[in-house]
Chain A
Amino acid sequence: MTWHPGDEALAAYAEGTLSTSQAWSVEAHVAECAECRATATGRVDTGRLEAIWDSTVDEIDAPRRRVIERVMVALGVPDHLARLLGATPSLTVPWLAAVVLVLGFGLAMAWSSAGEPFVDAREALLPFLLVAPLVPVAGVAAAFSRVLDPAYEIAAASPLHSFRLLLIRTVAVVATSMVPALVMALLLPHAGLLALAWILPALALAGAALVAGTFLPPIVAGASLGLAWVMGVLGVEIGPRALVAFGWTTQLLAAVVLAVSAAVMLQRRDLFEIGRRP
């Protein structure tokens, strides 16, 4: 390059004191000329440049947001909440994949035995209906376990009202577990209303697990309730009438359990304020 604006013009350009036409022509040159770029760069406050560099490095070292977190932020969820929810073990993609896989087995079994002779079509639904209510309860247990929850420390120190945080996380976990379950339930063969028979038991189990989690470690609470559910259903299903465990009695019972759990949680909400978490 033969023509250069000269140090004075470059300095004035960097300081923003050139007239528009001069600044534009200097800028057009600076865009092309490494030498003059260096001169102009030398005129910029080094403190400012170091500050930008530091924040850039901070950003590089910060853990990258999970996809789910970015989706939440895009949907208008506040930053800190998105991070907490994003760190919930039962809100990760592997978790959802596991849910889909497990329920997929139930669905596959329902379909594979649906066409066979001598098999009650309703009986074929049992594996799915048995497993589906376990999904939210497992999610809740994992979300509030100290062992599995990478955000335990953050949540414990969170400026949010802990009870509110608990509700937010629970709703998020239950909702994300139940949506795939619901979609797959609708794919069950010849199910009719039975396709929805797992929903109330699922909510009841999750609610009961939250309550039990205030006495027991969440994993223990969740596992015992899940076990109790499986044993109960299988115990009833030994009888001659298929899917009797998913009749109106169970639904009613589940509704009662859900209501009682909600009431107990409200009663015990203060418990979450003194540092103990379920």
Chain B
Amino acid sequence: MDHSDAELLAAISEGDRTALRLLYERHAGWLVVRLGRRCGDPDVVNEAVQDTFLAVWRKPRAYRGEGDPAAWLWGIALRRLLDRVRRRSRWESVAEWVHPGAVASAEDEVLIGVEHGDLGAALDRLSPELRAVVQAMVLDGLTVRETASLLGVPAGTVKTRMMRARKQLRKGLAT
């Protein structure tokens, strides 16, 4: 843990594979977790992480030394995930793309959340489908079209889900 990420990236651009390995050890784990919250298929997540480090290996100079390298990595990883999801069939069921754990407990969460009036509870009360849309559009800053391909639903559905989510959150905060 002696070298900073930026130093590792500089070494990678010299073709140093040990540096790539160090960078991988430092970042692959949390990228797997964070991508896993956006895509329920572990294979797709694995492929996206692989693509990310492949992109880093091939174009380490794309990092211009501005900002946190971790944020830069996340940006690549999210794009790679979108690419991979697009390449898979569009017709897979929506439930697969939502976090599997979230699907199972969604109804319980709705019931538990009724008693709270804060934003956190309002968020937790959203159905998994709506939550996935809010996560993609608000947290990750994806466009409607990108969100649609990530979740495997039409763009129109993304818009209506976003509207429904807004309405529910507003109501949740008001009570």
Contact = CB atoms under 8 A, between A and B. Distances in A.
Interface of A: 13-14, 16-17, 19-24, 27, 30-32, 34, 37-38, 40-44, 48-49, 51-53, 55-56, 59-60
Q: Please indicate which of the listed interface residues A19, A40, A42 has the most CB atoms of chain B within 10 Å of its own CB.
A: A19
B70 interface: yes
A41 B30 contact: yes
A24 B70 contact: no
Contacts of A60: 17, 54, 57
B120 A21 contact: yes
- Interface bracket on B: 35 or more
Interface in B59-84: 68, 70-71, 74
Contact of A22 (B57, B70, B120, B126): B120
A31 B131 CA distance: 20
Contact of A27 (B25, B27, B34): B34
B46 interface: yes
Given A40-B29, A55-B46, A60-B54, 12 more contacts: A20-B126, A20-B131, A21-B120, A21-B124, A24-B123, A31-B34, A31-B74, A37-B27, A37-B30, A41-B26, A49-B24, A53-B21
B49 interface: yes
A148 B28 CA distance: 42
A49 B23 CA distance: 13
A199 to B, nearest CB: 40
B123 A49 contact: no
